[in-house]
Amino acid sequence: MEENKLPKAVYDPLDMHQYRIDKLPRREKSKFERWLAILGPPVALLAFIILGFFTQLPFLTDIDPARIISEEAREAFQTLGSEAFSRSNHLMLAIFAASILLWLTNAIPNYLTSLIVIISIILCKVVPEKEALAQLGHPVMWLNIMSFVLASMLVTTGLAKRFALWFLLKFGKSAGSVFLSFLAINTILSACISSTTGKAAIMLPIFMVISAIYGARPGEGKRNFGRSLVLQNLLQINLGAGVYMTGSGANLLAVAIIGGAIGGKIFYGDWLMAMFPVMVGIMLIGYLLAMKVFFPLSPEERRPQIEGGMERLRQEYRRLGKLSTQEVKALIIFSLILGFWATDRLHGISATVVAFVGAIIALTPRIGIVKWNDVEIPWHLMLFSAGAYALGSGLSLTDLPSISVNAIFDQFGVGGHTPFWVLYVLMTGVMAFSGLIFQSTAMRAMIFVPIAIGIAGRFGYDVISLALPTAFMIEHVYVFPFNSKPAALLYETDMYSFTDTMKYGIAMMVISWLVIILAGETWFRVVGITPNGVF
């Protein structure tokens, strides 16, 4: 007799649940990446030993106290003396170089590198133990934690998914309007969810089903509709985070570094005012280039290919049921939070305090919305951030960025008056294109924002005018699959090729840089970031 066999599962391209993150294949490391991981630890250790104990760099040995910018570093120089301060700088440089090598090679988990950084700056006496360990309690760290509590509120109640489906069904009446709907959805969700990976997890099943409806499938079924939709979503997920100060942990890290340098704070409303028109403008340019130049749609691709496809999305939307009381409460809480964040310059209440109050209400039994066990806080990211802040504290105490910048400019004979526009173009370009190499937006913020601060100090320009536009370029991490977690995640959908993402991503990165240069000349002057009469 023929054995009974279970029927093979039928592939359903409109089943939204099959596109969850946990069902996507994981990209294996290439041979080059595996070699980097092997060489990372010994090379990092060697760099630490050589720079920390066997090298005497002239610019760190003979430090001119008049060139020290940081008030903390000036006090340390006076307290420790020239020789001890020089030793601290050498050790700080050694720790910094070793940590960058470990982060770049991805040899060990990034949170483990951060723990090594914290203990290293303590044992090397670069930063006092109390200050190094206190970075986990940094106000921005708390803002990160509370933001994840609030984001979990939107995800747990289903409000984020409901909004995305509603908006798409309401306004996605044609192929072109579908793309614009995703632009709007990503921009709005970025105000509420500070994790780009979290946004990708919410949006991925939706745009994969839409792609299938219009005839685009993974693998051999690649079509311009799928290429364009997924790559535009990748662009929008990242650039949407750049619209808001709370859009990502890297933004918050940059704000903390700049705030420490100016002895004040950057307001949420100021960041939003500066970046909303810029980022939305870039996303619209990305939409036009994708639709007209890189991935133009044939007449066939502009029509749904699966009959009743949109009805499946309506079924998914109906499955959510009527708007629940919990969803209404979540909407009210987050609307109030966003209102207070956007008007922080008027009332003076910090974004951290506002998020704290919102999270307390959300977690309060009976009147709240979520339980602590429902909250997804990526503690590995928190530990990584704590290490980054500790490293930033060490850089501030030693004034290493500005001392190094001065040495480099002196070496190349750059002195006197360098036009502001030269420095502006240089720093925004370096920050943007460093996204092609670095895997961590937080690491880029930690490296290049202090350099921008040091350059501004050397040439007598306002720190905000140079450091903040540099920070505005943090989220441009969408070219290669290894540039960010959303880029790696969406590449696994197999809806586009490496060549597709490279040509579209590099074009958008160059355009974004040109737009930020233009904004420096125009809009940023209006909102008081760049000074008048310097371009």
User: At which residue do the structure tokens 């080059």 appear?
Assistant: 32
H helix runs in 134-245, sequence order: 139-157, 159-171, 175-190, 196-213, 224-243
318, amino acid identity: R
**pTM, two decimal places:** 0.79
194 Rama class: left (phi>0) / alpha (psi -120 to 50) / beta: alpha
For residue 534, what pLDDT is reported?
44
pLDDT tens track of the chain, all 535 residues?
A: 444 444 444 444 554 444 455 555 555 666 777 888 899 899 999 999 999 999 888 888 888 787 777 777 888 888 888 888 889 999 999 998 998 888 778 788 878 988 999 999 999 999 889 888 888 877 778 887 888 888 788 778 888 778 888 888 887 778 888 899 989 989 988 888 777 877 887 788 777 888 888 777 776 667 888 889 999 999 999 999 999 998 888 898 888 888 877 877 888 889 999 999 999 999 999 999 999 999 998 888 777 766 666 777 788 788 888 888 888 888 888 889 888 888 888 888 888 888 889 889 988 888 878 888 878 777 877 787 788 778 878 887 888 877 887 777 777 666 667 788 889 999 999 999 988 877 678 778 878 888 898 888 888 889 999 999 999 999 998 888 777 778 877 887 788 888 888 999 999 999 999 999 999 999 999 999 998 744 4
For residue 51, what pLDDT is reported?
92
For residue 8, what pLDDT is reported?
43
d(CA 140, CA 244): 14
Cβ-based neighbour number of residue 450 at 10 Å: 28
**Positive or negative, the Cα torsion across 361, 363, 365, 370?**
positive
3-state secondary structure of 496: coil
